Structure 1
């Protein structure tokens, strides 16, 4: 995981920090990937987005706030950014060693594996942070 400072704020779509919001964001991602001829990344990117948004909703989104999502094309894939309302100093996400029988706690470990360690946390202007992940084709 890398921590950096972001010099820009890409376009975001705000989604409710609820299971329905996660579902809607995932379908929006799938449509965008299809437009960019990256539909084959949808299963992996969708799972990564789901884990990042769920983590933000559970740990880093103030009550009543929405979760921002940015999807950016990259060479060979897509960058997924989830914007939340908790600063890095207050709560940078880290993978845990949850047992395989646990119902929670393995999301970031899964993100780390699916992105081959290409994810991290970025400060942003104003309150909150960005948790980002790269989903790429294996040959990229």
Structure 2
């Protein structure tokens, strides 16, 4: 090595992308497509085990509810995943202005337990309205973070 040569500079590791968004058709198959889109982010963001399983279940419920709510309101739902300070935020946007309602399903009913699961698993969840629909979101603590997920938002009746 010559006296003028220097060792190669080390490249800083690229930070994992903080968020990703996808558009999916507004039908019941979209829940599976959303889970499939989320899984590669688990690897990048180093999320595994119970937090990953819970995130998939939360996302499935939010997407299924959005697809059902907007059956005639629009052709697609949008999903967004974001990781910040150990908190995974899952958002599902649809064109319906119908707010989600937490039901108390009877033992023999097949539907009506989704938001109860979201409420039980998520660190917080809520609804943000915009001019053409709504975004239903859920947050989940996924690691040792210096800042916890924000406090649960006021829930819709």
Structure 1 segments of 4 or more deviating over 6 A?
A: none
Deviation at 1:20, TM superposition (A): 2.5
Selected match of 2:37 from 23, 28, 31: 28
Q: Are residue 107 (structure 1) and residue 117 (structure 2) matched?
A: no
Give secondary structure in 1 for the equivalent of 2:29: helix
Give secondary structure in 2 for the equivalent of 1:12: strand
Q: CA RMSD in A?
A: 2.0
Q: Which has the larger radius of gyration?
A: 2
Q: What residue in structure 2 maps to residue 12 of structure 1?
A: 21
Matches within 5 A, 1:56-135: 56-62=66-72, 65-87=75-97, 91-116=98-123, 118-124=124-130, 126-135=131-140
User: Which structure has greater helix proportion?
Assistant: 1
> Deviation digits for residues 35-87 of structure 1, max 9, x if unmatched?
11113322100000000110111113535511100101122231000000012
Give secondary structure in 1 for the equivalent of 2:24: strand
TM-score between the two structures when normalised by the length of structure 2: 0.72
C-alpha distance in 1 between matches for 2:133 and 2:96: 4
C-alpha distance in 1 between matches for 2:44 and 2:72: 33
Q: 1:121 to 1:64 in 2, by over 3 A?
A: closer
Give secondary structure in 1 for the equivalent of 2:53: helix
TM-score between the two structures when normalised by the length of structure 1: 0.80
C-alpha distance in 2 between matches for 1:123 and 1:63: 15
C-alpha distance in 2 between matches for 1:114 and 1:64: 28
Q: What residue in structure 1 maps to residue 141 of structure 2?
A: 136
Unaligned runs of 5+ in 1: 1-9
Higher RCO (C-alpha 8 Å, min separation 6): 1
C-alpha distance in 2 between matches for 1:112 and 1:58: 19
CA contact (8 A) 2:88 2:140 kept: yes
Unaligned runs of 5+ in 2: 1-18, 149-157
